[in-house]
Structure 1
């Protein structure tokens, strides 16, 4: 099998650079989450911590894989046809990240729709994605790069399930959110914003998963698919962090706080959602009036005053 450095680890190097940029965004969003949402539940905080640790381990494994080939074994061409343990193991980290994120969004679908069948289908597709990732890892250790074409069905089925789950999440969230329109312009605008977030999240990861399947099916013996696959995990993590961090922005647009930017700037928020039990504060105006009088001459003294004041003596 004839392979070139450009089509193998050259493509992987490009994917590593873009992944490192997205990992920087992950660090920033993780910091913003823990700073802005200290009152979140422990389960949610632990989930964010686990995703960050998995993403960190993934970028470390990718860096080791590229460094070991391009630096440590730069004069050994046989390394291009030998699968390294770092490239193989990183698959499971990405698969576990995708599984956690898809389960999180499946819970959101359940809360919005209360459709148990739809939620179960999404969870089943997520399990297939994660399980076939493990199958790919085990199979990669037992064969050479020349036989990677035998694993096309594993990758196509696993990542195809991931793409189907992501698109189902995006479409179902948009569908059930659209059914909650009230006809009030401000409320509908907020629902439209949430629908845009859902579509962007679901279709972005779904399109990248389809690109991985397409490139691996056409070119299983090079690493073009690896570059896209490394981006997939970073998009999963950043999508869920963006969804968590956007809550404060949406809440601010719905209920501007005193002293906030929207409140101080005099901009009327585009969305106002009032709770059924929340009443508008009553406005009362108290006007105090007083009558002031002014005379050019002092008033004449009263009778009692006149008796008490001695009359002037005339000489």
Structure 2
């Protein structure tokens, strides 16, 4: 008597990745809600459009979470043990992609504004990131439409055009995150002064930037890998569920840590001046050669550190807002 392999993958193999991703996403939604509360409580004077953007992110993540719960309920409760039901693409599946794109656009408009300030109005640098964002958004919208029109997950993977667009869309997601991170790091490095304490703050900002973007980049790479190489599994949809929350938390985290970075800059400026006294600057440089403004555009504000013989650095009020 011959033993035939099962026609369908096991429920654990098919649904496990989605359920784990959904669980992590639900926990991260709590962090989104907490960060939104902290932002609204501590940033009453922010630009109105920035505050509206934060509300849009919270609303999109709330809807995203509701759609995710709907998917899990239908697959795990109503269709428990029924592979036919689990193999169908629900309308909430494609809607999740659109909610992620809303968060993506709000967050990256903010990053583009910050890059514009950092680069002193460079059309080339900002335009490059905008071009990547448009490509990422275009592929995402197309993939969401095709997911809505495709009845089954197997069909969504087997159609070559969809496979190519999903792969390209997630590849551009990785490229966009890496580009934002690399450009921000390079711009920070331009503002090194030769003063040890100031440069240590810049190094801290670089590390913070890398950590902020690392998770979303890693998740995007894992999503791309799982979609291309792991068959008979919805693992990649679990990464979709998590990535949107990471976009939101990274964006809100940058907003909520602005005061900490301001305090670091003010404290560092005072310590540096106290330790230097009337020294003119780094060896080999005259005061006149070294007097130059350092504009640190972080999030929606600009810090101006003016180095001179009369004072190492002074904090200027916010000069740029979304």
TM-score by length of 2: 0.77
- Per-residue CA deviation, residues 42-99 of structure 1 (Å, 9 max, x unaligned), is 0110111101111111111001110111112225331022111112211111122122
Partner of 1:283: none
Partner of 1:289: none
Partner of 1:287: none
Q: How do residues 168-183 of structure 1 correspond to structure 2 at under 5 angstroms? A: 168-183=179-194
Distance 1:85 1:94 in 2: 15
1:147 aligns with 2:158: no
Distance 2:271 2:32 in 1: 29
Q: How do residues 1-315 of structure 1 correspond to structure 2 at under 5 angstroms? A: 2-114=8-120, 115-143=122-150, 144-149=152-157, 150=159, 151-219=162-230, 221-255=232-266, 276=306
RMSD: 2.4
Distance 2:271 2:58 in 1: 34
The worse-fitting range, judged by mean Cα deviation, of 37-46 and 211-220 is: 211-220
Distance 2:144 2:269 in 1: 54
> Does structure 2 conserve the Cα–Cα contact (< 8 Å) formed by 1:99 and 1:129?
no
> Does structure 1 conserve the Cα–Cα contact (< 8 Å) formed by 2:198 and 2:269?
no
The worse-fitting range, judged by mean Cα deviation, of 194-203 and 37-46 is: 194-203
Distance 2:272 2:259 in 1: 14
Secondary structure at 1:83 match in 2: coil
Distance 2:18 2:85 in 1: 14
The worse-fitting range, judged by mean Cα deviation, of 7-16 and 71-80 is: 71-80
Q: Kindly state the Cα deviation for residue 175 of structure 1 after the two structures are TM-superposed.
A: 0.6
Distance 1:198 1:226 in 2: 27
- Per-residue CA deviation, residues 222-264 of structure 1 (Å, 9 max, x unaligned), is 21001111111111111111111111111222336xxxxxxxx
- Per-residue CA deviation, residues 93-144 of structure 1 (Å, 9 max, x unaligned), is 1122122222221221121113311211211111121221221122123332
1:25–1:269 distance in 2 versus 1, CA, 3 Å: farther
Secondary structure at 2:241 match in 1: helix
Distance 1:174 1:77 in 2: 48
In the alignment of these two chains, the number of paired residues is 270
Partner of 1:294: none
1:271–1:71 distance in 2 versus 1, CA, 3 Å: farther
> Does structure 2 conserve the Cα–Cα contact (< 8 Å) formed by 1:174 and 1:195?
yes
Q: Kindly state the Cα deviation for residue 4 of structure 1 after the two structures are TM-superposed.
A: 2.7
TM-score by length of 1: 0.79
Distance 1:274 1:58 in 2: 39
Bigger radius of gyration: 1
> Does structure 2 conserve the Cα–Cα contact (< 8 Å) formed by 1:99 and 1:127?
no
Q: Kindly state the Cα deviation for residue 221 of structure 1 after the two structures are TM-superposed.
A: 4.2
1:275–1:121 distance in 2 versus 1, CA, 3 Å: closer
Distance 1:160 1:2 in 2: 29
Secondary structure at 1:2 match in 2: coil
Q: Kindly state the Cα deviation for residue 268 of structure 1 after the two structures are TM-superposed.
A: 11
Distance 1:57 1:271 in 2: 48
Q: Which runs of 5+ in 2 are unaligned?
A: 1-6, 274-302, 312-322
The worse-fitting range, judged by mean Cα deviation, of 191-200 and 234-243 is: 191-200
Distance 1:38 1:87 in 2: 36
Secondary structure at 2:233 match in 1: coil
> Does structure 2 conserve the Cα–Cα contact (< 8 Å) formed by 1:103 and 1:126?
no
